[in-house]
Amino acid sequence: MARSNKPLVWGPFAAGGTLTAFLTPVLVALTLLAALGHPPEVLGYERLSALGHHPLFKFALAGVIGLSLWSAAHRLRITAYDLGVRADALVAAVLYSATLACTGVAVYYLLKL
């Protein structure tokens, strides 16, 4: 039995899961407020793009987006297997590369801010 390289994908999953546990509900609450027609101050264009100029903010947001997407992708991979989809390697490849691609897109737009 060889040691698995699963820690490579599990580490970010655990980090992302922890991050989303602390942060996602309140962030969803903020955009929910916007959805209900009462957007909080921070979601005003002036405020948010000013915030977006800060390199620290870009870096933090990239991290939050990347880890959130990664932990969701990893969980979806496991769920697919639980539901009977046997092609785990294929599912993993598709989900992880989609995550990296979407994170790349986010980084691209973050740099444009």
Q: Is 101 in the site for other proteins (CB under 8 A)?
A: no
How far out from the chain centre does Cα 20 lie?
8
Q: Is 110 in the site for other proteins (CB under 8 A)?
A: yes
The Cα-based distances of 11 to 14, 55, 91 in angstroms read 5, 25, 19
- Choose which of 92, 94, 100, 102 interacts with other proteins (CB under 8 A): 102
Q: How many residues at the interface with other proteins, by CB under 8 A?
A: 63
Q: Is 81 in the site for other proteins (CB under 8 A)?
A: yes
Q: Is 94 in the site for other proteins (CB under 8 A)?
A: no
Name the packing angle between helices 55-82 and 6-35 (round to 10°): 110
Residue type, 36: L
Q: Is 53 in the site for other proteins (CB under 8 A)?
A: no
Q: Is 91 in the site for other proteins (CB under 8 A)?
A: no
Q: Is 56 in the site for other proteins (CB under 8 A)?
A: no
Tokens representing 82 are 């639980």
Contact indicator for 20, 68 with CB cutoff of 8 Å: yes
Torsion of CA 75, 80, 82, 86, to 10 degrees: -130
Report the interface residues with other proteins, using CB under 8 A.
Answer: 1-8, 10-11, 14, 17-18, 20-37, 39-43, 45, 47-49, 52, 61, 65, 68-69, 71-73, 75-76, 78-79, 81-84, 102, 105-106, 109-110, 112-113
